[in-house]
Amino acid sequence: MLNRFLSGLVLSALAWMCMVPTVFSESEVLEYSVKLKGAKDNAVKRAVNHSARTITMRKRPPSTLGQLRRRIQKDIPAIEAILESRGYYDGRVSSEIDTDRSKVRVYLRIEQGEPYRFRSVKVLFPGNNDEQLAGIKPLLRRRKKVVAADVFEEQRRIIEQLNRRGYPFAALRKRTVEVDRENQQVDLTLEFAVGPLAFFGPVVVEGLDALPPKYIQRQVPWREGRRYDSKLVRDFETRLLGTGQFGSARVAPRRAASGTNAIPIVITLNERAPRTIRAGVNYSDIGPGGRLYWEHRNIFGAGERFESSVSASPIELLWDARLTRSGFLDGNQSLVLDLEASRESPDAYDARKAKTTAMVLRDFTPNIQAGLGLGYYYSRVEQFSVEDRFNYVFLPLQLSLDYRDDRLNPMRGYQAFGRTIWNEDTHGSDSFLKTYLEGRDYHLLWERARLSSAFRLSLGSIDGADISTVPADERFYAGGGGSIRGYEYQSVGPKLNGTPTGGNKLLEFSAELRMQPGQRLGYVVFLDGGTVYNDVVSDELNRSLRYGAGIGVRWFTAIGPLRADLAYPLNPDSSQEKQLQFYISLGQAF
């Protein structure tokens, strides 16, 4: 009896186990590779490689051949859409799966065909007779290859042109694409709804707390009643963000009430805390240095910005202060008051001086700024055991063009700066004109590795007085981290008994090759050169161009690249003591 019971129990257990499906610890997968064939257009290849799931999901292979076929079939219409977006309206896509290999291979065959080209491109503004719109012409030309991205860019460009001509709410009404497959040509018609002509109306400021609305009102770069221009609005938004007063700033038009074309401009702001304290350190050929900085962005309650700092190094102690009032007499102008006091003791001279300057800066565009000012400085300068005192009233004039893509780490664009200062001696001695020009140029050479080139050229001249009557601290010097790397500070140029004399002419240039293959680290090789000329000291050895070369590492942080450079002088004179110079600071060299 017991045996029959146990036998029945065993048979029941076996039957139950047979009914339960088998579970495996790992699922079988079908690994495969993909070969793209037939695509000659590199743009098509890139788009397919980045979007086709058969390619992008190779590391997540299907379990069966049927699942792989379904994945491929879903990709074929998407790839044909890519071909059409690049003008290949006759393009076809086929596939093949080779299972005879140890690893399955998928072939995606693309027949591009010939690209279609534009036969005509028309831009229409129905119901509008504004003469200013007659100047808006399409940039897409006849016989140009049909590319969808170019069409979208043309739409964006035309809407931007309408926004600049007084139509802030313009939009695309209709896009007509007629394809002539027999002649492989396309007729494109873009029709826009421009809306009513608009003029600048009242400015509405929202989000202010500590700052008064008049701080914004006095900086507005347009006058009420002027025809609307989106560039003025966009530039003003950029300028507000550049003041450092706001964490965010948005300037946007609002539709006008019925019966008027004067549209309100709404400025929405988010104020930052008014005070900032920063500290920094650096190291160069003159030794370690440090700087302590304090800023108040609303010191008198009307948006006045006050900055003050103290910096120290083995050869200099400097205190400076700056007060900036934006919107001075005009929305595009600022009044800047500077005051500084310093003590300098490089090898060339010892100087104690104080300087004050008042300058009006005008922004003609976000990239072009000019300034004119008036200043006074007093100095006591000792050189070659002779001390002189100087009192000058000076008139500075400067111009700046800045078209760089990034101020701390530029890779594209250029920058140019020029400054000339007439220095009038209050004691009736020799007055002089000091001019300094600098240009910088940046090119991105290889986007994938972020390989770029950077060039700098600096020229300086002192005219109107004999160099011996010009204060030693106002002459030009060369050599050091911000000049010709590899040489000791102010060591390049004419010398007298081994002491740099300074000069009345300056020439400097630098070339860098920069690479940033990753997110954090970058690498630089560079060549610097230049010299200083002096009409009094005419030793040919001291008039020769000096060259320095080196390598550098950049550590990219949230506040900009941290720079470390090691430089070697290529043709130093006998006074050069160290053959290697090391520099560390924040930001690129230029």
DSSP secondary structure letters along 195-242? -S--EEEEEEEES-SSS-HHHHHTT--S-TTSBP-HHHHHHHHHHHHH
pLDDT at 428 over 80: no
Strands 275-284 and 287-296: what pairing? Answer: antiparallel
Q: Given pLDDT bands bounded at 50, 70 and 90, which one contains residue 17?
A: very low
pLDDT at 91 over 90: yes
Tell me which amino acid residue 201 is.
G
Q: Is 169 exposed, middle or buried (0-12, 13-18, 19+ CB in 10 A)?
A: middle
Contact 352, 379 (CB under 8 A): yes
- Residue 575 tokens read as 């006074």
Q: Given pLDDT bands bounded at 50, 70 and 90, which one contains residue 10?
A: very low
Q: Given pLDDT bands bounded at 50, 70 and 90, which one contains residue 282?
A: confident
Q: pLDDT tens for residues 324-363?
A: 999 899 888 999 999 999 999 999 999 999 999 999 999 9
Distance CA 529, CA 505 (A): 14
The arrangement of secondary structure in 117-193, i.e. its CATH architecture, is Roll (3.10)
Distance CA 485, CA 480 (A): 5
Between 440 and 580, residue with greater pLDDT: 440
Q: Given pLDDT bands bounded at 50, 70 and 90, which one contains residue 242?
A: confident
Ranges in the chain annotated CATH 2.40.160.50? 275-586
Question: What pLDDT does 579 receive?
Answer: 83
Contact 71, 95 (CB under 8 A): no
pLDDT at 12 over 50: no
Question: What pLDDT does 148 receive?
Answer: 94
What's the topology of domain 275-586? Porin (2.40.160)
Cβ-proximal residues to 337 (8 Å cutoff; 6+ apart), any chain: 322, 323, 324, 356, 357, 358
E strands, 501-590, in order: 505-515, 521-533, 546-557, 560-569, 581-586
Tell me which amino acid residue 477 is.
Y
Tell me which amino acid residue 529 is.
G
Contact 324, 299 (CB under 8 A): no
Q: Can you state the angle between helices 148-164 and 65-85, rounded to 10 degrees?
A: 50
- What's 32-111's CATH class? alpha beta
Cβ-proximal residues to 468 (8 Å cutoff; 6+ apart), any chain: 536
pLDDT at 577 over 80: no
Ranges in the chain annotated CATH 3.10.20.310? 32-111, 117-193, 199-271
pLDDT at 110 over 70: yes
Average the pLDDT over 568-577 and give the result: 85
Start-to-end C-alpha separation, the chain: 99
CA distances from 449 to 518, 522, 550 (A): 8, 10, 21
Contact 93, 79 (CB under 8 A): yes
Q: Given pLDDT bands bounded at 50, 70 and 90, which one contains residue 127?
A: confident
pLDDT at 435 over 90: yes
Question: What pLDDT does 536 receive?
Answer: 66
Residue-wise DSSP of 380-436:
EEEETTEEEEEEEEEEEEEEEEE--S-SSS--SEEEEEEEEEEEEETTSS--EEEEE
Q: How many CA atoms lie within 13 A of 307 on its CB side?
A: 14
How many percent of the chain have pLDDT more than 90?
A: 74
Average the pLDDT over 87-106 and give the result: 92
E strands, 14-134, in order: 32-37, 92-98, 104-111, 117-124
pLDDT at 9 over 60: no
The gap from C-alpha 246 to its chain's centroid, in whole angstroms, comes to 20
How many percent of the chain have pLDDT more than 70?
A: 94
Q: Given pLDDT bands bounded at 50, 70 and 90, which one contains residue 540?
A: low
- Residue 156 tokens read as 């964006």
Question: What pLDDT does 539 receive?
Answer: 56
Nearest Cα residue to 383 out of 535, 495, 544, 479: 495
Sign of the C-alpha dihedral computed for residues 212, 213, 216 and 222 taken in this order: negative
Cβ-proximal residues to 99 (8 Å cutoff; 6+ apart), any chain: 65
pLDDT at 7 over 70: no
Q: pLDDT tens for residues 486-521?
A: 999 999 988 888 889 999 999 999 999 999 998 899
Cβ-proximal residues to 336 (8 Å cutoff; 6+ apart), any chain: 322, 323, 324, 357, 358, 359, 360, 361, 371, 373
pLDDT at 21 over 70: no
Question: What pLDDT does 560 receive?
Answer: 83
Q: pLDDT tens for residues 37-80?
A: 988 899 999 999 999 999 999 999 999 999 999 999 999 999 99
Average the pLDDT over 449-478 and give the result: 94
The arrangement of secondary structure in 199-271, i.e. its CATH architecture, is Roll (3.10)
Work out the angle at residue 484's Cα, subtended by the Cα atoms of residues 483 and 489, and round it to the nearest 5 degrees.
Answer: 75
